[in-house]
Chains A and B, each alone.
Chain A
Amino acid sequence: MERYSAYKDSGVEWIGDIPSHWIINKFNREVYFQEGPGLRTFQFTEDGTKVICVTNITETGIEFDKLKKYISEEEYLKKYQHFTVQNGDYLLSSSGNSWGKVCEYKSDEKVILNTSTIRLNSLNPYKLDKRLIPHILNSNFVKIQLEILMTGSCQPNFGPSHLNQLLVPVPDYAEQQKIVEFLDDKTAKIDRLLQIKEKKIELLKEKRTSLINQVVTKGLDPNVEMKDSGVEWIGEIPKHWATIKLKYLCEIVYGISPPDTTYNYEGLGSILINGPVEYSKKDFGYTRSLKWTTDPKKFTSKGSLLFCLRGSTTGRMNITHADVSIGRGVCSLKSKESQWFMIYSMMMLRIHIQKQISGSTFPSVTKDDVDNYLICHPPLEEQNGIAKYLDIQTNEIDRLIKLEQKKIELLKEYRQSLISEVITGKIKVFEEVLGVN
């Protein structure tokens, strides 16, 4: 990329050198900003003037779907008129985990600011193109300065007093417009690409599910004769298959918890899996050795499928990473035939039963439920073939998902660096035909 012809030291460590004809100025000499008042809960009403709260600010715009707060018209007129947000103001979130989000307010609807939201606009539109404001706020050097100012407070939180101390580089006015046009174009494209990648990951996950579903219920041969299984989520199955209750296909062990006085973390006795605590986060991932018991009650072998029986995690499944003992929160399933065919089938069953589980007040499934869940039952040879096929296919999809996730990280990094380098003049994004320098 091109560079400007001459540079000087900005005097600010985080900004570094800037083009020699640019200046460094205090943020508050270029930008007007105001934080909202601290409204109290009892001031909120059912109707009236809408209030922008910190959670309403997202990178893509103002979102009122999740949270709508109002104050009465009367109170607005009496005390808060000067906090009205104008069409074209920028809004910045200044507390919470997602501090630093910026978006433009593009509406004529009357809204006022709440605390922890800041509105900004150019002090002099002929000196600073206001469209530069979000890019400045998104630059590394601003984030760094704010982070330094915020250190020491346990909750991320900054306000006008912090913004007052910010130093920013200011290009020539004509250059500003070129910079804005360039950055607006590039960031829009990057954002669209990020969106596409997120969507792609979603589709890949959907494909994974749909693939497993198709294969565990229809088999690998598309030309085989079919019949109705009589089970809604399974639909048609190959004519030579059957459905089977888990209790007839698997050895099912229901856990019993040892007394907790026998728990230890030094590896004495048997590894104990009580429930989701010892699961890995990933669905159908492998369990972990976190605690042991010297008085195990129920055992299951490595490679068994564990099923959470109660609580908000009911239905979550993991595969045992070793021979372990199990507590009352889980049961273990070991197929008498192909273990992995059964596991893939359970992935689909889980989707089917999830809605019923989560619909109840205290989610739980009983022994009766688990024993009698129905899955497809192909001949053993086909089970093995299906398991092998799915191993290869799902691995490939998982690899693609990881790759996309990595690309997303890189793109985000690229986006921030690009903005920072353009805003500090490290790279020049236009032809010098404007008579500058």
Chain B
Amino acid sequence: MPNSQEISSFIWNVCDDVLRGLFKQHEYGDVILPFLVLRRLDCVIEPQKDTVIRLYNELKDDVEPAPIIMKQTGLRFYNRSNFDLQRLKGDPNGLKNNFPNYINGFSHNVFEILENFQLDKPVQKLLKNNKLYLLIDKFTDIDLHPDKVDNHTMGQIFEELLRKFSEMSNETSGEHYTPRDIVKLLVSLVFAENKEKLTGSGIIRSIFDPCCGTGGMLTIGKDWISENIPNQVMVNLYGQELNPQTYSICKSDMLITGEDPDNIRLGSSLSFDQFEGRKFDYMITNPPFGVSWKSEKDFIDEESKNPYGRFGVGTPRSSDGSLLFLQHMISKMKDEGSRIGVIFNGSPLFTGDAGSGESEIRRWIIENDWLECIVALPDQLFFNTGISTYIWIVTNDKKPNRKGKVQLIDGSQFYKAMKKSLGSKRKEISSEQCEELINTYNNFEENEYSKIYDNEFFGYTKVVIEQPLKENGELVSKKDGSLKADTSLRDSERIPLTDDVEEYYNREVKPHLPNSWMDRDKDKVGYEINFTKYFYTYKPLRPLNEITKDLLALERESENLLKEIL
């Protein structure tokens, strides 16, 4: 079986031999990706190619041939033209007509996918420069049948290519294809707590990813269930993806591996929810980090006015839409219990003051007792960015011992350095380390890497402190006799929900500002998670006399040395 390394070096050779000079480097993907899909499709349908052609010709005049062809061949898709990539090679001069014939010969479900690749232009260019034959010739050299190259490997290849192509075009759009080690951890955390719920007969479960990319998370999720659950669980995969190219790859691979491709849909999950009203058992995703949602602002703001809509509790700042995806998923939780795993950067933990959209969203999630666990991951795990990231586990079905509590796990040191870095990815989580993190989660005990807090620990009241206004050295009173406040001296205090406000004021504020008072009408409750602070351990500096001792020892040694040198 060819491994992903070999296939990608094959592809780079194709780029070098066929595409160089003709296409700009960042355009390579527009050619390579669809041809990979075509070749993979061909490999699946090749054995029945002749049967399909025969059936089609027999049936076409009388009935709609598709259902019969699929039934008789057992294929979920087919190509009724006389061509596949291999057969196109038989008539090098006829490519101009035969290639479109080939593409149009695909069954409707494939044709729809291919349309998204917008193959026309690159194919015209290849034809004009006599390179199409060469390209086809190269691709027929490689066997991409799913028996030879499984879905994981294919996904890995697609993701590596997408990464490299996007590096070449200097795209910094914040799209990060999620490496397998992270997905495995995420998926394990989402499913681990739910093993018994998955055990039984006739169980059907759904997994949904609102930013599904090439579908890697979904297939790994499904694999986890088939590897860890002894009985047959029927798992249906659902995904939505914004980028048409990625969407097409995902859809074609779902088709190839026997999933229902209709469950993969195109468009923005935020402003064009293709699964409105649907609920799912499990939701996993890695939304783009810190991406602006300005272009969808009108739609989202409108929805946020509806208290029953997805964003009724508030919206984050328009420069970072991460939390919107979590709100989107929360709206799709089933009453009988769903579990969500999402990968965020650090911002959703703490950005936004008390009363701001972000803080209100955190408050809503924590006060509803949905936030179960956050795992800090090592930095330098992603291909396109070295930033620190966090897995959030959110559920409306906490186990009794977890109720009212949030577990924080510091996994930032659970990595091993990779022998060869891939883009910004220099670290990976080994399977033992992944296991250890999952055990830490399952054990639900405090230790060096695990802390458990009550929900209200993360909340605070922001209390406004006023000081009296003085005019010409005199205090100014309002009509009701109370003192007028000097707005230029207005200050505020964050008082933990676990602390008593009056006591705090008398202890911390009054001694410094004896004339001040609290304006409790302006109280606001905020929530934040200062992850690094909770795990920060203070390392005392070395005492002076120890340092001095070391210095003196060095001094003696250097004096002798200098004499020997000079």
- Complex Cα spacing A213 to B540, Å: 10
Interface residue A389 (Cβ < 8 Å from any Cβ of B): no
Within 8 A of A (CB), among B1-16: 5, 8-9, 12
Other-chain residue from A204, A232, A360 in contact with B388 (beta carbon distance below 8 A): A360
With A189-B561, A361-B387 already in contact, the answer to whether A356 and B536 are too (CB < 8 A) is yes
Q: Is the CB of A233 within 8 A of B538?
A: yes
Count chain A residues whose beta carbon lies closer than 8 angstroms to a beta carbon of B.
45
User: Is there contact, CB below 8 Å, between A203 and B420?
Assistant: no
Task: With A200-B558, A360-B532, A368-B494 as known contacts, state yes or no: A210 contacts B543, CB within 8 Å.
Answer: yes
Q: Given A42-B9, A69-B420, A359-B388, does the pair A193, B558 have CB atoms closer than 8 Å?
A: yes
Chain B residue numbers with a CB within 8 Å of A14 are none
Residues of A within 8 A of B492 (CB): 368
8 Å CB interface, B462-497 against A = 491-492, 494
Whether A402 sits at the interface, judged by CB under 8 Å, is no
Please choose the segment from B183-191, B327-335, B547-555 that sits at the chain A interface, where 4 or more of its residues have CB less than 8 A away. B547-555
Segment from A43-51, A86-94, A135-143, A149-157 that makes contact with B: A43-51
Are the CB atoms of B419 and A68 closer together than 8 Å? yes
Set of chain A residues within 8 Å of B128, measured between Cβ atoms: none
A217 to B24, CA, bound (A): 62
The number of A-B residue pairs with CB atoms under 8 Å apart is 94
**Measured CA separation A42–B492 after assembly (Å):** 58
Interface residues of B (CB under 8 A from A): 5, 8-9, 12, 290, 345-347, 350, 353, 387-388, 419-420, 491-492, 494, 508, 512-513, 530-533, 536, 538, 540-544, 547-548, 550-551, 554-555, 557-558, 561-562, 564-565
Q: Which residues of B contact A352 (CB under 8 A)?
A: 538
What is the chain B residue whose CB lies nearest that of A47? B419
In the complex the two chains form, is A196's CB within 8 Å of B551's CB?
Answer: no
Q: How far is the CB of A212 from chain B (nearest CB, A)?
A: 10
**A248, A360, A372 pick with most chain B CB within 10 angstroms:** A360
Q: Are B346 and A360 in touch, CB under 8 angstroms?
A: yes
Question: Which residues from chain A contact B540 at a C-beta distance below 8 Å?
Answer: 235
Q: Are B558 and A197 within 8 A (Cβ)? A: yes
Q: Is there contact, CB below 8 Å, between B347 and A361? A: yes
Query: Which residues from chain A sit less than 8 Å from chain B, CB to CB?
Result: 42, 44-47, 68-70, 186, 189-190, 192-193, 196-197, 199-200, 203-204, 206-207, 209-211, 213-214, 232-233, 235, 244-245, 247-248, 352, 355-356, 359-362, 366, 368, 371-372, 414
Q: Which residue of B lies closest to A206 (CB)?
A: B547
Indicate whether A207 sits within 8 Å of B544 (C-beta atoms), given known contacts A47-B419, A356-B533: yes
On chain B, the residues within 8 Å of A190 by CB distance are: 565
Question: Smallest distance from the beta carbon of B411 to chain A beta carbons, Å?
Answer: 14
Closest to B390 in A: A361
Q: A207-B547, A361-B387 are in contact. Are A193 and B512 (CB under 8 A)?
A: no
Q: Smallest CB-CB separation from A244: which chain B residue?
A: B512
Nearest Cβ on chain A to B297's Cβ, whole angstroms = 21
Complex CA–CA separation, A209 to B533 (angstroms)? 23
A46 contacts across to B, CB distance below 8 A? 419-420
| Contact for A70 among B346, B353, B420, CB less than 8 A | B420
Complex Cα spacing A193 to B367, Å: 63
Q: Are A45 and B5 in contact (CB under 8 A)?
A: yes
> Nearest-CB distance from B422 to chain A (Å)?
10
